[in-house]
Structures are given as structure tokens and as C-alpha cells.
Structure 1
Amino acid sequence: MKKCRFLIVSKFILLVTILFFSNALFAQGQTFASKTQSNFWKNVQFGGEIGLGFGSGYTDISISPSTIYNINQTVSVGTALRFGFVSSKNNFTSTLYGGSLIGLINPIPKIQLSAEIEETNVSTNYQLEGGNLSTEYWNTALYFGAGYRTGGITIGLRYDVLYKANKSVYGDAFMPFVRIYF
């Protein structure tokens, strides 16, 4: 069931990406294909987020590479992958992977609003007295956020409207973020 859901989500993200890119490339017809292709890549940006957290016996490492397409100066859409590792010495270790679809709106150059749907597989191994316990599940998050933007860097706060304290991957529905795109 879990693998089936992951395959469905993966196929959906791949299909949306292929359809989006193929429509953008062929929107102006065959005679303008080379011009359209060069204009297409001028509107693509690569980047993402990197997270590192260390404490007394605690480690949190995450990387989320992403690609966005700037439809115009105001609207961008894209996809992201997510990989993470969290460990608390003598308590648990978790590995995370998944993907997301991102929509960005810049109503004015310095403000960025975002919407992101994220699907993450969480696999956790707990070290307990008398034995170990393992869990694996999919976490769905729907974020709405706002940030201050300068150049390719945005710093802001996002809120998971699907957050459930007993099931979410994260400790709180509010999350600060830093996005960087080149």
C-alpha cells in the first residue's frame, strides 16, 4: 500500500512535469521551436533549500533541490525533491524522502507568497528498552507562506494547513524557510 501510494505520487509528479514542460516548449509551433526552447530555459531557475541542525546528541540534515519556471515576473511554478535524516542519540533515527509541487506569486518585487503541496515518506526506528520499534508512513502537508525576497533569496514563514500534532513530521505547523534560486 505504501509503495503503491509512493508510485502513484511519483508518476503524478513526473506526468505534471512532462506535460508542463512539453506544453511550454511547443506552445508557439514547430517553426519557432528553437526560439521557444531558448526562451524556455531563460525562465528556468534551479535551487532549493538546505537544512542543518545539531545539538547535544541530535542531528537533523535535509536537502530539497527544486526547479521553478517563471511564467512571468509575478508567477512561478515548480517541483522539488526532499531528502532528510534526523537522529536523536539513543532514542530514534528517521529517514525522509518525497516531493512537492510549488506555486510562487510575487505581488511586488520584495514580497513572495507561496503554496506548496508536499508528500513525504517517513521511516523511523525507535530504540526502546526491551526492543526496537519501526514505523513507516506518508505525511501530506499543504503550506501557505509569505516571505521577504531579495534577488534569488527569499526568507519567510509558512504554515501547514493539514498539520496534525500527533502525525506530522514536523513539531509545529509554522515553519521558517530560506529559499535560494539561481
Structure 2
Amino acid sequence: MANAQFAHIDATVDFWDRVRFGGGLGLSTESGFFSASVSPSAIYEFNPMFGLGVGLSGTYTNRKNFYKATVFGSSLIGLFSPIQELQLSAEFEAFLVTRNFDNPLFKNDQYWYPALFLGVGYRTQNVTVGIRCNVLYNGDKSIYANAWMPFIRVYF
């Protein structure tokens, strides 16, 4: 009976009362290198167990005397919490990557890069900490250093 109550959907709740907003900001600098990103997102919680959301992302990277890159994209995320403390996730991202090299020996390029992350995290209220794996990882084209990535997810 407790599971049925946990999954209960209250039809009297307003749509916007079920929407949670969050996202991420990123900044990385070192000598001759700069990278900044913005990634807002929103999740609709159908009930305490299931959520579905969308996100946008933009990143600018500059390595002095080597290249400049922009990455723009969107994502679709599904969240499942079989118990309150455990959150399973599946997130599909599609990014348009544009790289412009300062050295003519390297060819400028533009391509779409997909990523499908499967993740697991520990959830407490509106914060989830966990790890996810990109099952479509391609080391030659990826915008990520490797397939495995820790995450902190916060929605308000």
C-alpha cells in the first residue's frame, strides 16, 4: 500500500507546481585556456517516482594559438526514483560542435555529437549526487574527456 501512495498522482495540482528548474554553470581556466558553459533545464515531476525534462546547453572554449570551439545543444532527461534516496536517469544530448583551428595543418570542422547517459545517484530532497556513463562515447569526437562522469543535479 505504501508504494501505491508514493506513486499517486494528484490531479488537482497545477502544472507549474510540478515543474522544477535547475541547470549548470561551468568555468575552466589555466594559462592560455578558457572555457565557459551555461546549461539551464526544467523537469516535470509526474509524481515522486517519475520525472521528464528538457535542457539547453552552450559552451565556448579557447586554447590560445590552437583553436576556438563552440558547442550548442539540447537534452532530454528521464528520472526514476524507485525509492526516495535512489535516482536512476537516462539523458540524451545532441550537440552541434564547431571547431576552428589557428594552425592551417588542422582542418576546421563542424559536426553533430550525440550522447546517451545512463546514471545512478543518491537523492536528498532537491539534490542528487551520482555517476553517469555515456554509452555512445566516441573518443575522437566527444566533447567529454571520457565516458564516465560524476554529477551533482539540483532542481528547485
TM-score bracket for this pair, using the shorter chain length: 0.7 to 0.9
> Is residue 75 of structure 2 the alignment partner of residue 100 of structure 1?
yes
| Map of 1:144 onto structure 2 | 118
What CA deviation, in whole Å up to 9, does each residue of 1:81-101 have, x standing for no partner? Answer: 111111212111110101011
Query: As a proportion of its length, which structure holds more helix?
Result: 1
| SS of 2:47 mapped into structure 1 | coil
Unaligned runs of 5+ in 1: 1-35
**8 A Cα contact 1:60 1:84, kept in partner:** yes
Query: As a proportion of its length, which structure holds more strand?
Result: 2
Note the C-alpha offset of 1:64.
Answer: 1.0
Looking at structure 1, the residues matched to 146 and 101 of structure 2 have their Cα atoms a distance apart, in angstroms, of: 21
Q: How does 1:167-182 map to 2 (within 5 A)?
A: 167-182=141-156
The residue type equivalent to 1:40 in the other structure is F
**8 A Cα contact 1:49 1:178, kept in partner:** no
- TM value normalised by structure 2: 0.86
Calculate the aligned-residue CA RMSD, in Å: 1.9
What CA deviation, in whole Å up to 9, does each residue of 1:6-37 have, x standing for no partner? Answer: xxxxxxxxxxxxxxxxxxxxxxxxxxxxxx68
Looking at structure 2, the residues matched to 86 and 118 of structure 1 have their Cα atoms a distance apart, in angstroms, of: 19
The residue type equivalent to 1:151 in the other structure is Q
- TM value normalised by structure 1: 0.74
The residue type equivalent to 1:176 in the other structure is P
| SS of 2:14 mapped into structure 1 | helix
> Is residue 100 of structure 2 the alignment partner of residue 135 of structure 1?
no
Runs of 4+ in 1 over 3 A off after TM superposition: 130-133
